[in-house]
A and B are shown apart, each in its own frame.
Chain A
Amino acid sequence: MSVQSGPQWKARSEMKVLNTDVPRVDGPAKVSGRAKYAHDIRLPGMLHARLLLCPHPAADVELLNVEPAKRIAGVVTAAELADRPDRTIFLGQPLAVVAAETPEAAEDGLRAIEVRYREGGWAVTPEQAAAEDAPRISRRQPNALTERETGNQGRTERALEGADATIDETYVVPVQHHCCLETHGMVVDFDGERARVWPSTQAVTGSRGEVAQALGIPADRVEIVCDYMGGGFGSKFSIGPEGLAACQLATELRRPIHLMLTRTDEFLMGGNRSGGRQRMRAGASLDGKLVALDAEVWRHGGIGRGSNPGQPYIYKAETDSMRIGSVRTNTDANRAMRAPGHPQASFAIESAMDELAYAIGMDPLDFRMRNLEDPVYHRQLNRVADEIGWYDHPNRETPGIPTGGTNVGIGFGVSTWGGGGRRVCVVTVRIDPDGSVTSSAGSQDLGTGVRTYVGSIVAEELGLAVSQVTGRVGHSEYGPANASGGSTTTASLAPAVKDAAHNARVAFSERLAEWLECGPGDVVFANGEVRSGTNERMKLTWSEACSILGSDPIVATGEWQSHLQTSGIHGAQAVKVEVDTETGGLRLVKMVCIQDCGLPLNRMALRSQINGGMIEAIGYGLFEERIIDPWLGVALNANFDDYKLPGSTEMPELVAIIDDDDERQQVIGMAEATIIPGQSAIANAVANACGVRIRSLPLTADKVLMGIQEKA
């Protein structure tokens, strides 16, 4: 490849580093326990802070006196939050904050705060909120609001009448929590002039602006450090009320403040995936066409509006119409959560597709393909069907019936996502005379492996080993970068890294050409050497080449290059489940996910993302559900004991497949898509096993057993 052309990804066959299994460069720091997270930051004079949360879904705060807290041993200050309302509107709304020498003294301080609430009317379930006499949650809008109508409902009605088979069913999804193992929060060190801040964040660049505003100083006096963070999944874009509270304390006290949410606070105010209810009236023809779909979609996002991309989601219906809206409740607002809205939409449409397929006596895999236009899905569904053993499975056109023993079923689902990038990141690659190479980006590594590819893309470009390039992320001084969300990091950042690497190589080639007695375009970087492409005896080791730089290192920057990335991905999943028809208990046997992503950067990290997507879907499908008592308005499972996450013993065999038939030579973000269809495939597998269709997540044993008994 000539250096004169702009940056281009190499052919996959020529790649030495990219598209292989690259162990994370920060693996040793993580496994040794050296990796420091926001939670682990300790500074001289640092205080620990805790928030006071409103224990009612809505209440007038009649009295809030923080003075008694200040008299507690170890407490340094207590304050009402700067913007605290007189009337709260969601369960867990923060009102005040205490700073103390130890976390437990801060908690003692919270208990000493004198506070009197007058509980107002509230609604914590969508049913309560939609009732005639329900208290208004927003002054401006009704609780239940239809926001958008699409299609021609009259035409859909007529098409439904003409369909060979129809269903009219309602599918319900609960509120799911992100459950990052590290809670939200940050450490702020502010001296009145400048601030250094360690947030647990998905947005280093964005945090800088937010903190600057909160502290009332220019952004160039704020330094954000996020070397490691313990999971985000969409919940850690903003510094949130906890970050604002930390800044408020730091401003008042001029002492470093450590404010990490407790696990319970995290459940109450750290965000969630919105729940929802979707009524699907759908019709199919005997030849396997989805001829009509009318959908009524309600999103349940607490005081937020929830998310759902709408129906028929990925599928194509000959006629469709939809009304989509939201019902507000007095609970924490939903936030983005890995593939916002998509798992919800997936559950309704994939369940409905299965129900229709069985209604016309057709193999549900076949029925899917007849209503998916994109041939990529056909290829992917065949791959996962093959791997899961669908073609040898007995119940392909008709679900099984409860045997009294164990029934085995298989189910499917598909996913989609954008995954494209945009122009934000500026990356710097520096080659020093001593041979060291750094690649720096003000992005963040949520655990996906960003730090590794920030280095390894440069290693590939310069013909070096991954260990010869130091990838640096997690620092606001490393240049602007977008927030890591919506699977936009890879396609926004990797092209800028590639561009910087390319520019560094071109600049270095110009400096080396004379030494190698060739033109700059003929300088070849490979196998840790630099040589002339025209005379193979002219070559330098990497350190010899770098020493030529004298005291003048190569510093090159790179920006986003649209042609190095693209968008539009597909995935398919299959699940095999065993249903104990005596108890309703489920055991997942195997789960397969195939995912395309354009050009893979690091296969090992990719498979990890695929596995991680599958497990979040297993949690959503089998266990996870926020429960708030509808009569008392009390959170019943705001902890990891009662809110059940999947553990190692609940894992099936997971098979992560990278779709190498996708030959696009551009990078695309992919993590979101892997979480989308798993729970739908599980529900379909249960129905396939024993004919019991569960239309509300999670698929707990009691629901399955009830369904089995109804059949009997």
Chain B
Amino acid sequence: MRVLELEVNGDQVEVGAPDHWTLLEVLRYRLGLYGSKQGCDKGDCGACTVLLDGEPVIACLTLAALCEGRRITTIEGLAPAHVRAGGRGPDPVQDAFDRCGALQCGFCQPGMMLSAWALLADNPTPTRGEINAALSGNLCRCTGYTQIVEAVELAIAEATGATPARPHWAKHESTPPKPASVDGREASR
């Protein structure tokens, strides 16, 4: 057992945990941060992905004790960080995932979005191949990844002011012309 001093989502926290606990265990079983999912607990699915100093890491394979003195960002921290940085509304990556219908059950999404977020922080205009590569450690059983990639491309387009590429399926969508809007969260087309 040791007392860990961690910086999680901008907050300094002290938490007691066994020496051998992973970061995922500390987040989920000590800090009440359940957004990081436990899909396999062995480094295979990416559902537990968090950012460590802005880099995506597999929290279930990361020793919590090695995270002292480093910045930990979980999915819960993205929106507050966006606001702290002077942004308005939701975090652009989360927003794009929502508007593109990039998720179904949603279990893979926190990890997926953090991988996408880290990619865009590092490379604001990645190619589709680079997006796919950056997300390749995050398994999704539900969606077929297509709308996830479209979400990342939407986030890129909005950040750069470019028009997002028209998705290939769109030409088969003649009717209806207009998406319904939920709370101003218009579906992306």
Contacts and interface: CB of A to CB of B under 8 A. Distances in A.
B158 interface: no
B101 A182 contact: no
Most chain B CB neighbours (cut-off 10 Å) among A17, A25, A263: A263
Interface in B134-160: 135-149
Contacts of B99: 23, 27
A20 B107 contact: no
Interface stretch (A324-332, A340-348, A571-579, A649-657): A649-657
Contact of B106 (A30, A465, A615): A30
Contact of B176 (A19, A28, A262, A616): A19
Given A180-B105, A640-B44, 14 more contacts: A17-B180, A20-B187, A23-B181, A23-B187, A31-B113, A33-B74, A231-B104, A263-B39, A263-B45, A465-B181, A605-B101, A640-B139, A655-B168, A657-B169
Contacts of A26: 106
Contacts of B189: 21
A521 interface: no
B37 A230 contact: yes
Contact of B39 (A25, A178, A181): A181
Nearest to B35: A33
B176 to A, nearest CB: 5
Contacts of B173: 603, 658
Contacts of A20: 176, 178-180, 187
Contact of B185 (A15, A23, A102, A658): A23
Q: Interface size bucket, B side?
A: 35 or more
Nearest to B32: A42
B57 interface: no
B136 A649 contact: yes
Given A19-B176, A25-B182, A641-B42, A35 B144 contact: no
Interface stretch (A435-443, A472-480, A606-614): A606-614
A30 B75 CA distance: 10
Contacts of A415: none
Contact of A263 (B28, B42, B109): B42
Contacts of B168: 653, 655
Closest 3 A-B residue pairs measured CB to CB? A33-B35, A447-B104, A230-B107
Contacts of B187: 20-23, 604
A178 B107 CA distance: 14
Contact of A612 (B144, B174, B175, B176): B144
Interface of A: 12, 15-17, 19-28, 30-37, 39-40, 42, 102-104, 178-182, 228-231, 233, 262-263, 387, 446-449, 456, 465-467, 603-605, 607-609, 611-616, 639-641, 645, 647-649, 651, 653-658, 660
B174 A33 contact: no
A466 B182 contact: yes
A31 B141 contact: no
B144 A654 contact: yes
Given A16-B180, A23-B98, A32 B76 contact: yes
A608 B180 contact: no
A34 B35 contact: yes
B34 A33 contact: yes
Majority-rule SS of B interface residues: loop
Contacts of A229: 105
A46 B123 CA distance: 43
Nearest to A28: B98
A608 B132 contact: no
A314 to B, nearest CB: 23
A30 B103 contact: yes
Contacts of B44: 263, 639-641
A448 B104 CA distance: 6
16 contacts: A21-B180, A31-B97, A32-B76, A33-B35, A37-B34, A39-B34, A42-B34, A181-B37, A182-B39, A263-B39, A447-B103, A607-B169, A615-B145, A654-B169, A657-B169, A657-B172
A615 B34 contact: no
A448 B74 CA distance: 26
B51 interface: no
A608 B172 contact: no
Contacts of B25: 104
A645 B98 CA distance: 24
B101 A651 contact: no
Contacts of B121: none
B128 to A, nearest CB: 10
Given A27-B185, A614-B144, A640 B40 contact: yes
A695 B99 CA distance: 41
Given A22-B187, A32-B76, A465 B182 contact: yes
A78 B97 CA distance: 43
A608 B45 contact: no
A467 B180 CA distance: 10
Contacts of A23: 98-99, 101, 181-182, 185-187
Contacts of A231: 104-105, 107, 141-142
A625 B180 CA distance: 41
Nearest to B175: A660
B85 interface: no
Contacts of A639: 40, 42, 44
Contact of A22 (B74, B79, B94, B182): B182
Contact of A179 (B79, B94, B141, B146): B141
